[in-house]
Amino acid sequence: MLAGEFMTGVLALSSGMAMGVLLARAGGGTLILSIIILHYLLHLRHSILFGTSAAVTTVNAVMLYGVRRRALQGALKPAIWFTLPGLLGMILSRGIPHTVSTPFRLALLGLLMVVNTSISLILPKNVGLPPVVHLKRLALVGCAIGIIVGYFGGAGGFLAFPTMLISGLPQSLAVGSSTLTVAGFSLTAAVRDILRADVNWMVVLPYIAGASVGLFAAVYWVRLRIPAKMWHWTATILILAAGLFLLQQNWGSLYRPSIAIYDGIKGGLLHEFRD
């Protein structure tokens, strides 16, 4: 028992360090990878997966903004315009049934990751982007993303950055604003799960400790001579691969409900025409 807990702590610490380095070099978009690590490497059971993921994502996002705050000045106002309606969206998401299985939610999350990454690769960055920042559009999009985040917990926050770009926010501001937004979304999701005791602190604490060491080491202590573009492509490939992996592992849970819906519609139509 103790040996198993010790190994889990070591794995959480080491994987957290790797995540910290990746965050420092590739940005907050890689925060989504935490849920893969927690579920498939650290074997967190379904009931505490999303809560634990929200807790570590909150702290990592705050640390990332802390070490990059000078380069991310001006990000607070867009973050507020995006996040506050997003929190309203999270409240509205309570109307969505959350009784579906965790594999089903993971499959949908993987599908979102694949689609989001594919679009960012296919479409040029500046195509169709408005010339100015529209705060009302930012608020509307934030509400929509909040509904998604409310369903997936803090894991859905990775959609904040691309949707901020589509809303006209310059990339230099979107990086910082999305980091703050992810922190706000994840904190809101985590508080609910903390109150229900759905967070594994034996994983959260060493994971955060490792992430802080990796993050600060990559920013202040160790100079990794790898081009920023290489880090960006590495993060993109990792997120795309993680999305495909989630789909492959949980495809059955997404397939069966789809067939059930199809059979229901087909049966209803046949019944209608027979009458």
Over residues 86-103, the pLDDT tens digits come to 989 888 887 666 666 778
Alpha-carbon distance of 12 to 151, in angstroms, equals 25
CB-based contact 198:47 (threshold 8 Å): yes
Residue position matching structure tokens 């989630």: 246
9 or 273, greater pLDDT: 9
Between 140 and 198, whose confidence is greater?
Answer: 140
Residue 102: partners with Cβ closer than 8 Å, 6 or more residues away: 46, 49, 50
DSSP letter at 95 equals: G
Query: Tokens for 214?
Result: 């990796």
Between CA 253 and CA 37 the distance in angstroms is: 20
Instruction: Select the more confidently predicted residue: 151 or 71.
Output: 151
pTM, two decimals, is 0.80
CB atoms within 10 A of CB 60: 28
Q: Identify the burial level of 39 via C-beta atoms within 10 angstroms of its C-beta, where 0-12 means exposed, 13-18 middle and 19 or more buried.
A: buried
Query: Is residue 111 scored above 90 in pLDDT?
Result: no
| Owner of token pair 């920013």 | 219
* Mean pLDDT in residue range 170-177: 78
pLDDT at 127: 47
How confident is residue 72, by pLDDT bands cut at 50, 70 and 90?
A: low
Q: What is the pLDDT of residue 269?
A: 46
Mean pLDDT score across all residues of the chain: 79
Task: Answer whether residue 168 shows pLDDT above 80.
Answer: no
